[in-house]
Amino acid sequence: MVSDKIVRWIYLFLSVALFFFLYFLFDILSQPIGHPLVDNWQIQDQNGKREIKLPFYETLSKSQIIRFSTTFPQKEGDSLFFPRLSGNGVKVFLNGQEIEEIGDMVRGTANMWNIPHLISFDPSLLGEQNYLELEIFGLYDVGIGSPPSLDWRENVIGRFAILRILRHDVYILAIGACFTLGLILGLIGLSREDSYMRHALFSIGISCFLGGMYLLDFIYRPTSGSLSLFLNLRKIWLSCGCLSMFFFLQGTENLLQIKTRLHSLLFWVTLVLVAGFFFQPSHPQLKQFSNFAIIFALISPLVATGEVLYLKKLTVIFPWTFFSLTIFHLFYSIISGKTGVFLISYGILASVVGMGFAILEIYREVNKKLERAYEQSITDPLTGAYNRGIISQLNFSSQDYLIMGDINGFKKYNDLYGHIAGDGLLQSIVKHIKNSIRQNDYVIRMGGDEFLVVLKNCPGYEMEKAAERIRKSFPADEKNSGVTISWGKAVTGDNFEAVLGLADQLMYQEKQKSYTKDREKEETMLPSG
């Protein structure tokens, strides 16, 4: 059997391997194909015209339109593939003719920076020498994340579709998972009676829901209406991101039943960061503050991951570690200014799935304990038969039959052989009765030396056979040869209590007959006077 230490290292290795696989997959899919347009790029902004190298990214102090241009010799193709463009609106010109407009070039309220773009045009526009120009409208940044390429549409459509799925559709999947799990955990948490589990589930549920709200900032939107609405939406989503990370820590600590001194400090830090978002008057300032705020907000999930690794919770090592790697990558991207690939959605999705599995495992353990407790509450500890507690759980019908049984001479047996032997006799009787009935039937110790057998959904023609097997199931040996069992006739009806009373009465009649026979037998054995 593999030890927990080896499993832990395997999970860590898989999380690291998955992270780098996704990272290099994005990098490969973002590489230009066909005819790459890498050289001769120039930029024209308020500082004039200058040469640049791709990839290029620039943070703006105010919203403006910046022009990117390049020239290239005769090439063949009917599509331009841009793996990534930063900005809020883009116009594309080929040899002086506009071929595409993306986003919002008037107000800049589009959210288009996280998706690839495939622009088709009439191939007759291409000549011996070609001039490509991009006008990018940015509220807080502009850039070309990866060099574009010229190719035929059928050659690049597959890569474009895959990259679109990985960069956009996965985010939608993650948002749906966050909202769904958040709602479920929140409702379950509110219904729990144990405080630690209630707080854990409720906090993690809130974290999932807020994480889904944060990911809305990554979804493509051609417009968001007014500029003020676009700004306020970004404030809300960034605030949700910070709050989600804090509740992630709080839920994890409640789930693990621990609490760090850092918890209270991060609570106030989070409140300050959220308040700071809503005091930013413009997009450039909001962008600068968000980079600062996210760095501090990332501390919460990192602390939670450290606690998980320290306590060696195997179930969540993989998702939590992978989530931390995506956070470190986001941290590096913010610090370095390289915004080519974001894997935070995959980290959030992994953490959501991990939390789901962790909570499922906890519930399984809780349910097992409850099941064991329930089985103990309805089971006779001596014989292993059911006790009277099971009766209230039985759904009795007219197709069920009851047979009452009582041991005759059990007290004498105990007096003669001792209580240990008496206990063994009871156990033996129950064992033999169980071997005589079906799996869906019940043998119940009503108390002392009284037993009830319930034949569930038993046809009438089978009832007599079953009853006969039960009557003959009593173990006979020399030690207990003086002990018998009086079984009442099998009875049925719609009213359980009435049928139970009748079965008890019939058993008592059989018991009286047994006592009468024993007395008559004793009298015949007495010497005549």
Query: Is residue 528 in some structural domain?
Result: no
Q: For all residues of the chain together, what is the average pLDDT? A: 81
Highest mean pLDDT among 1-5, 343-347, 419-423, 489-493: 419-423
Same domain for 226 and 296?
A: yes
Across residues 51-74, what is the average pLDDT?
Answer: 89
Domain termination residue (choose one: 151, 176, 207): 151
Least confident of 83-92, 186-195, 479-488: 479-488
Same domain for 21 and 39?
A: no
Same domain for 441 and 512?
A: yes
Same domain for 204 and 328?
A: yes
Query: Is residue 159 in some structural domain?
Result: no
Same domain for 211 and 348?
A: yes
Please check the confidence at residue 520 and state whether its pLDDT lies above 60.
no
Neighbours of 181 (CB within 10 A): 22
How many structural domains compose the chain? 3
Across residues 398-412, what is the average pLDDT?
Answer: 80
Question: Among candidates 481, 487, 492, which has minimal Cα distance to 513?
Answer: 487
Query: Is residue 335 in some structural domain?
Result: yes
Please check the confidence at residue 276 and state whether its pLDDT lies above 60.
yes
The confidence score (pLDDT) of residue 330 equals 77
Task: Return the beta strands (E) in 386-515 as ranges.
Answer: 401-408, 442-447, 450-455, 484-487
The confidence score (pLDDT) of residue 524 equals 54
Query: Is residue 422 in some structural domain?
Result: yes
Same domain for 364 and 396?
A: no
Domain termination residue (choose one: 372, 401, 435): 372
Identify the CATH number of the domain in which residue 47 sits. 2.60.120.260
Query: Is residue 128 in some structural domain?
Result: yes
The confidence score (pLDDT) of residue 339 equals 59
Domain termination residue (choose one: 342, 372, 402): 372
Same domain for 40 and 16?
A: no
pTM: 0.67
- pLDDT bin (cut points 50, 70, 90) of residue 288 is confident
Higher pLDDT among residues 354 and 519, named by residue: 354
The confidence score (pLDDT) of residue 132 equals 94
What are the tens digits of pLDDT across the range 329-380?
A: 877 777 776 655 678 778 877 777 776 776 677 667 777 877 777 777 788 8
Same domain for 280 and 311?
A: yes
SS3 string, 219-239, reads CCECCCCCHHHHHHHHHHHHH
The confidence score (pLDDT) of residue 33 equals 83
Same domain for 197 and 318?
A: yes
**502: which 2 tokens?**
């009748």
Question: Among candidates 291, 292, 348, 356, which has minimal Cα distance to 324?
Answer: 348
Query: Is residue 527 in some structural domain?
Result: no
Same domain for 143 and 276?
A: no
Higher pLDDT among residues 10 and 221, named by residue: 221
The confidence score (pLDDT) of residue 129 equals 92
Please check the confidence at residue 250 and state whether its pLDDT lies above 50.
yes
Identify the CATH number of the domain in which residue 485 sits. 3.30.70.270
Please check the confidence at residue 522 and state whether its pLDDT lies above 60.
no
- Nearby residues of 425 by Cβ (< 8 Å), 6 or more positions away: 407, 410, 413, 480, 483
Question: Among candidates 429, 481, 465, 420, which has minimal Cα distance to 450?
Answer: 429
The confidence score (pLDDT) of residue 78 equals 92
Please check the confidence at residue 482 and state whether its pLDDT lies above 70.
no
The confidence score (pLDDT) of residue 69 equals 94
The confidence score (pLDDT) of residue 338 equals 63
The CA distance from 472 to 450, in Å, is 17
Please check the confidence at residue 89 and state whether its pLDDT lies above 90.
yes
Same domain for 85 and 233?
A: no
Query: Is residue 271 in some structural domain?
Result: yes
CB–CB of 219/172 below 8 Å? Answer: yes
Please check the confidence at residue 477 and state whether its pLDDT lies above 70.
no
Least confident of 383-387, 417-421, 428-432, 511-515: 511-515
Same domain for 104 and 248?
A: no
The confidence score (pLDDT) of residue 308 equals 64
The confidence score (pLDDT) of residue 79 equals 94
Across residues 20-26, what is the average pLDDT?
Answer: 86
The confidence score (pLDDT) of residue 136 equals 94
Please check the confidence at residue 280 and state whether its pLDDT lies above 80.
yes
Query: For residue 193, what are the domain limits?
Result: 4-25+167-372
The confidence score (pLDDT) of residue 529 equals 46
The confidence score (pLDDT) of residue 309 equals 61
- pLDDT bin (cut points 50, 70, 90) of residue 118 is very high
Query: Is residue 196 in some structural domain?
Result: yes
Highest mean pLDDT among 224-238, 257-271, 309-323: 224-238
